[in-house]
Amino acid sequence: MAVRFNDKLQKTFNSFNADRRFANWLWAFIKNKLQHIDLGELGSPGMRDRMAELIISQPGLKQSIENQKNSDLLPEQSFQWITNNKRQNAFLIRKLTEENRDNHVSAPENLAGRDLTIATIDLWQTGLIHKSAIANQLRSEWENHTKSDHLFKWFDGPDEKEKLNTAWEITKGKYSTFTFHQSQPQEKDDLIILLDSPFISTSDKILLMNSIKKRWSQNKYRAKMTGKKQYNFILSDKAIKRLDKLADKHDLKRTQVLEILLKMEEEEGVYIPARLKQLADS
């Protein structure tokens, strides 16, 4: 719900809520229409009062602003689906930039997130019917775009940082063109934002994630095998039966049984000398 201010600007426009969204739009409107006026930086202390004083001092400006507001601003409910999610706003800003490239009015530089997205739409010089259609289209595109998000559920958990390291290695190799100037993602959303490129399809993401998971499994296996080597031995059927019997009895793997027996014989040195003596005496 939009915050309602109780200041000079709100009292100047008492017929509607002169909230932060309106103030952002108004600052840009005055800057574009009255370029000789210095309102200070958007959001700076006293900015709202300075805008109110300017409007009061210039007859007709208030009505001009109200008329333009009614032509530029969609109802608040049109934007309820837009959150402060970093990835969502990066996606929407890219789409808006593509859509209104030929009729673009820059939003204030120090806006970010949801405020930036909404201000970009508010300042777009096109009719409300078109704006409403674009807002609905963007919502549909965002919902369709995020249907593949289940692919990235794999990153969740205590190993997220390590998994992202592996993902970055694979992604750099496959998409070196647009990862060249990018820093390594520190969070899952940073990687997903990178992969939101229009040049990467859902099929591409599936193949990429399969490669990442495969590399991750290989790395974990190699780490697990550190300090171990594979040997091939030929054992008699009787020895194999004995090994399996001990493994079943103690709920161990064959390799675990062999490691225990070898360790104990190395420490105690009982069974091999005794067996060698038996063979020598026979």
Instruction: Read off the pLDDT of each residue in 17-27 and give the average, rounded to a whole number.
Output: 95
Q: What are the structural domain ranges in the chain?
A: 8-72, 76-147, 156-224, 237-281
The pLDDT tens digits of the residues spanning 239-270 come to 888 888 888 888 888 888 888 888 887 888 77
Residue 162 has pLDDT above 70, yes or no: yes
- Average pLDDT of the chain to the nearest whole number: 88
**Residue 166 pLDDT > 70, yes or no?**
yes
What pTM was estimated for this model as a whole?
Answer: 0.71
pLDDT tens digit sequence for 46-75: 999 999 999 999 989 999 999 999 999 999
Q: What is the pLDDT of residues 70-111, one digit of tens each?
A: 999 999 999 999 999 999 999 999 999 888 776 656 788 889
pLDDT at 103 (0 to 100): 62
CA distance 109 to 210: 39
In percent, how much of the chain has pLDDT > 70?
A: 96
Evaluate if residue 231 carries a pLDDT over 70.
no
Residue 209 in this model has a pLDDT that exceeds 70: yes
